[in-house]
Structure 1
Amino acid sequence: MNRTEALGIVKESIASVIPDADFTTLGPDDKFREALEMDSLDFLSFVETLSERTGVRIDDEDTPRLTTLADSADFLVDRTE
C-alpha cells in the first residue's frame, strides 16, 4: 500500500464514522479527533473500521500513532510493507 492509498482509506474510515466530516478544512497534520469532535466511541469505531478495511491489526498501544491524517497513513504504510 502506498501513502496515497493509505490516506484515502483513512479518510474513508473517518467518513464512515463521521459522515459529514469536512476534509477540505483538515490539514494532513491537524489532529482530526479534536477537529472533527470525535468522542472516544467514534475513535474506536474509526480504529475498528480502519483495521477491517486494511487487514492491519491495530492494538491499543498503536492508537497514539493515529492522531493526524498523515500519521495514520504512515502507520498503515509501515504495517503493510
Structure 2
Amino acid sequence: MEREQVREHVLNIIADVALDDDVTTIDDAVALRDQLDLDSMDFLDIVMELKKRHKIEVPQEDYPQLASMNSCVEYLTPKFVALA
C-alpha cells in the first residue's frame, strides 16, 4: 500500500473522530494535537478505529509514533503492507 493511501485511511479515521475539525488543512509535519482539538479519549478512539477497520494494533508504547501525520504514515505503512 502506498504512503498516500495510508494517509487517506488515517485522515478518514481522524475525520470521523474529530467531527468539528477540518482535516483538509492538516500539516503533516506538525503534531496532530497541536492542530486539532484532540484529547486523550479522541486519540484512543483513533487507535481503536485502526484496530476495528484495518486490524492494526498499536501497542501503548508506540503511541508517540502517531504524533504527526508524517510519523503516523511512517509507522503504519509497513503494518498496512503486511495486511495486503
Which interval holds the TM-score relative to the shorter structure? Answer: 0.7 to 0.9
| Aligned twin of 1:37 | 37
With normalisation by structure 2, the TM-score equals: 0.85
Post-superposition CA distance 1:33-72 (Å, at most 9, x none): 1211211101100111122222111110111000111111
Q: Report the equivalent of 1:49.
A: 49
Provide the residue aligned with 2:11 in structure 1: 11
The question of whether the paired residues in 2 share the 8 Å contact of 1:7 and 1:73 is answered with yes
Count of residue correspondences: 81
Q: SS of 2:25's equivalent?
A: coil
Residue 20 of structure 1 deviates from its aligned partner by 2.7
Whether the 8 Å contact between 1:9 and 1:53 is mirrored in structure 2 is no
Higher fraction of helix: 2
Native 8 Å contact 2:51 2:57 kept in 1? yes
Instruction: State the partner residue of 1:71.
Output: 71
Higher relative contact order (CA 8 A, sep 6+): 1
3-state SS of 1:12 partner = helix
- Partner of 1:26 in structure 2? 26
TM-score under structure 1 length normalisation: 0.88
Deviation at 1:7, TM superposition (A): 0.1
